[in-house]
Amino acid sequence: MSTRYVRWCLGAAVALVAVGGQIEETETHTPIASRWNYNEHLFPIFRDNCGSCHRDGGIAPMSLVSYRSAYPWAQSIREEVLGLRMPPWKAEDGFGDFRNGHALPAHEMDMILEWSSGGYPQGPRSQSPAAPGEPEEWPLGPPALELRMAEPFTLDWSTNEVVRYFVLPTGTTEERFVTGADVMPGAAAIVRDVAIYIDATGTARALDAEDDGPGFGEAEGRDFPATAPLALWSPGRPSVRQEDAARTLPAGADIVARVHYKKTWITEGEEFADQSRIGLYAGDESDRAVESMLLSSPERTGELTLTFSQEVETDVSALAVLPEVAIEAKDVQVVAVTPTGTRVPMLFLREPDTAWPTRYWFDTPIDLPAGSTIEVNAILHPGADFTPGRSLFGADPSAPIRLVVDYAAAGALAD
């Protein structure tokens, strides 16, 4: 073989690899018509709005914080974003302001839509962004009390989804006050949401003792819980720590974590062991007591609307709302009407579902004088399906819509 021939062969091979690489990196089925590219424009949007779940080892099936794993999903991203299913935050911006999340701003949604239908360009290689690092340990700071599941819970290869309650004794000997709670998941790829309760009755311990293995499962006739959760957690949604409002933690009470495990098609068939940690933040006696009021809709009559309301009996500062919409609704609107007739927007949900239970914390607490009414108005889809299911706060599961309003005594938080 002549040297020249060898050279020629090598040259050709190198060219092929380069062409192959090129094809793989920039292959498109649509001409590039997007002004926005991934490296410069889309990456920060995906990182900030999707990356808490769509990262390697996260709860979602694919990472969106790398071009290579994101672009094959362009069409699906478009559909999920247009259908308002992703990101899973259902509250409309500008109708109530919230401190633990926001909808995708309209201009960012436009950029995603243009990019995904306009050939999803990568942009200049020189601007390739670095994938974000691991989520921070205790973003709210070190908790006053850190509790860990006593033993790991195994989700075997054949189980894709399960809800399990774990009892975490606090071992406290006197009454304490809790301003917030947070979760550090053990197996981050499967811990989808966690509801945290305070149990001073021993009910959860008794249920735990009856059930084999760590914790206990949901079963017919098991009525845990019956109250509003202390906190609701899901990945990337900032937990909230109140400044001067707290729930009471009776001496020796247990923390009960209701953990919803769910695999995606990418983690199906794998086995996981989870041993999550719960952090509690401490307040003191001077904090106002946080309490919860429960509203439930009447049963559905066949009408396309569902309306109900409840009066507030004392002056209160509304801190948060936690809705459960178990019926197919176009939207659900929650408004407070003061005795003088002022309508105060609280929450507007578009296309709500029960997939991602969320407590919406008001940016600024809403002061409501005694005699105000909280009104809920829902517009249903024609022929809307109602799927009765367990309530996270012990509401009547036969009510298609229910809502918790968390509040403290008025004036407490404003001054």
Question: Is the separation of the CB atoms in 283 and 249 below 8 Å?
Answer: no
Nearest CB to ligand HEC, comparing residues 133 and 341 = 133
Residue from 143, 229, 235, 394 binding ligand HEC (CB under 6 A): 235
Nearest CB to ligand HEC, comparing residues 261 and 362 = 261
Encode 85-135 in three state secondary structure.
CCCCCCECCCCCCECCCCCCCHHHHHHHHHHHHCCCCCCCHHHCCCCCCCC
Tell me the CA distances in angstroms from 343 to 52, 129, 166, 336, one per residue in order.
Answer: 35, 46, 41, 6
Q: For the chain, how big is the Rg over CA atoms in Å?
A: 25
Nearest CB to ligand HEC, comparing residues 169 and 238 = 238
For residue 90, what are its two tokens? 């259902």
Nearest CB to ligand HEC, comparing residues 87 and 283 = 87
CA dist., res. 101 & res. 27, Å (int): 35
Rule CB under 6 A: is residue 236 a binding residue for ligand HEC? yes
Rule CB under 6 A: is residue 234 a binding residue for ligand HEC? yes
Q: What is the pattern of x (binds ligand HEC, CB under 6 A) and - over residues 46-75?
A: ---xx-xxx----xxx--x--------x--
Tell me the CA distances in angstroms from 54 to 5, 44, 162, one per residue in order.
Answer: 49, 13, 21
Nearest CB to ligand HEC, comparing residues 283 and 323 = 323
Rule CB under 6 A: is residue 77 a binding residue for ligand HEC? yes
Rule CB under 6 A: is residue 44 a binding residue for ligand HEC? no
* Preceding peptide of 139 cis, ω within 30°: no
Residue from 32, 39, 44, 88 binding ligand HEC (CB under 6 A): 88
Nearest CB to ligand HEC, comparing residues 76 and 387 = 76
Q: What is the pattern of x (binds ligand HEC, CB under 6 A) and - over residues 257-296?
A: -------x--------------------------------
The least distance separating ligand HEC from the CB of residue 370, rounded to whole angstroms, comes to 38
* Preceding peptide of 365 cis, ω within 30°: no
Rule CB under 6 A: is residue 358 a binding residue for ligand HEC? no
In the block, tokens 């691991």 appear at 134
Question: Is the separation of the CB atoms in 71 and 122 below 8 Å?
Answer: yes
Catalog residues that contact ligand HEC under the rule CB under 6 A: 49-50, 52-54, 59-61, 64, 73, 76-77, 80-81, 86-88, 104, 234-236, 264
